A and B are shown apart, each in its own frame.
Chain A
């Protein structure tokens, strides 16, 4: 049985943080769409920016889909951990009953419930460890995807300096949005990663 009594709280916190990451990722999609509109308006002077908007879109799509996937894993993990906590608690109560009703001729009738709950706890523990590992792997994967956001931001800034004055500010704003959104997602992912390490 686990010594930790609040792992199910940590799992719920991770699920909440990743739900937030999904919402922030959707903002990145909006930034990509805005950048496309500015490129269309700017015409030839923004030719270099066009492929970058595709890259922002692609980053946004990957981030949204993987954060949704991770969010589902975290929510499932949260549910598993609550079930595991319940089974763990029942086992502790059953052990208390064994002590309190010591000597009772009926005490052996509790064995089946105890063994069944213990088996269920072990099944949930295995599932829990698998889900924690899966979550950790997915978080690593999204973290490496987000590294490209730094390069994208630098490229956007470079292209912004080449654009005509009236569009320059709009492109600079796009690059700032890419950076701030990616940073916010990274912080949420980083926090979740540290929590997952605790769950391990």
Chain B
């Protein structure tokens, strides 16, 4: 979640089963009425299936998500929240003093997908890119990149279908000044590990049935 003077921007709020834990944690930081914007990087249930419950809690919020998923995401239940479609080329959003950028990440893995980049904090919320499959009690940060590779490899090869889309994203992200890259699952990459990840990902062949 990113907060500004009058607004809170909640990213990938999660599935139905996580709703009460998520709202309880959010409410410890900000009052409910301050949550004015929700972002769903893509349409997956673990990203946004809680929408029907947020819709009961927030009546004036806006959901920002790729245009391609509007008809799909509405099936999670959306009567009060307004859908703001993000175009394929991305864009930006200004919340009081905070500016955030939508970075296109299509086909990584979803066919309509965006990351969020905060140029001031130099943080990239990379969604499923950089995700690792490991135990919930795993440390928050990547400590040894080489040891971390086996936890990411199969996920990226199996879920992400396009080498072209992947290399296009790597080229785009290399231009950003990133201090932290935060995937939705797994661990956070800091400093040099961000560059190590981009190098590793660029060299990785994806779209294969990896075991």
Q: Which residues of A contact B (CB under 8 A)?
A: 86-87, 89-90, 93-94, 96-97, 100-101, 104, 106-107, 109-110, 112-113, 116-117
Contacts and interface: CB of A to CB of B under 8 A. Distances in A.
B27 A101 contact: yes
B23 A97 contact: yes
Interface in B12-50: 19-21, 23-25, 27-34
B77 A86 contact: yes
Interface string B55-68: 01111000000000
Given A97-B24, A100-B20, A101-B24, A89 B30 contact: no
Interface string B131-164: 0000000000000000000000000000000000
B56 A117 contact: yes
Contacts of A89: 53
A97 to B, nearest CB: 5
Nearest to B30: A106
A106 B32 contact: yes
6 contacts: A86-B77, A90-B52, A93-B19, A96-B24, A100-B24, A109-B27
A100 B20 CA distance: 8
Contacts of B52: 86, 90
Contacts of A113: 32, 56-59
A117 B32 CA distance: 14
Contacts, number: 58
B171 to A, nearest CB: 42
Contact of A109 (B19, B20, B31, B59): B31
Please report whether the interface of chain A is mostly helix, strand, loop or mixed according to DSSP.
helix
A108 to B, nearest CB: 8
A109 B32 CA distance: 6
Contacts of A104: 24, 27-28
A109 B58 CA distance: 11
- Most chain-B CB neighbours within 10 Å: which of A94, A106, A112? A106
A70 B20 CA distance: 39
A90 B27 contact: no
Nearest to A107: B27
B29 to A, nearest CB: 8
Contacts of B25: 101
B27 A86 contact: no
A180 B53 CA distance: 48
Contact of A93 (B20, B59, B77): B20
B27 A106 contact: yes
Contacts of B30: 106
10 nearest interchain CB pairs? A109-B31, A100-B24, A96-B20, A90-B56, A101-B24, A109-B32, A106-B31, A113-B57, A93-B20, A104-B28
A82 to B, nearest CB: 10
A84 to B, nearest CB: 12
A113 B55 CA distance: 10
A80 to B, nearest CB: 14
Contacts of A87: 56
Contacts of B33: 109, 112
Nearest to A91: B56
B193 to A, nearest CB: 33
A105 B23 CA distance: 14
A160 B108 CA distance: 74
Nearest to A90: B56
Contacts of B19: 93
A82 B59 CA distance: 19
B32 A110 contact: yes
A86 B78 CA distance: 11
A87 B52 CA distance: 10
A83 to B, nearest CB: 9
B56 A86 contact: yes
Contacts of B59: 113, 116
Interface centre among B19, B29, B59 (most CB of A within 10 A): B19
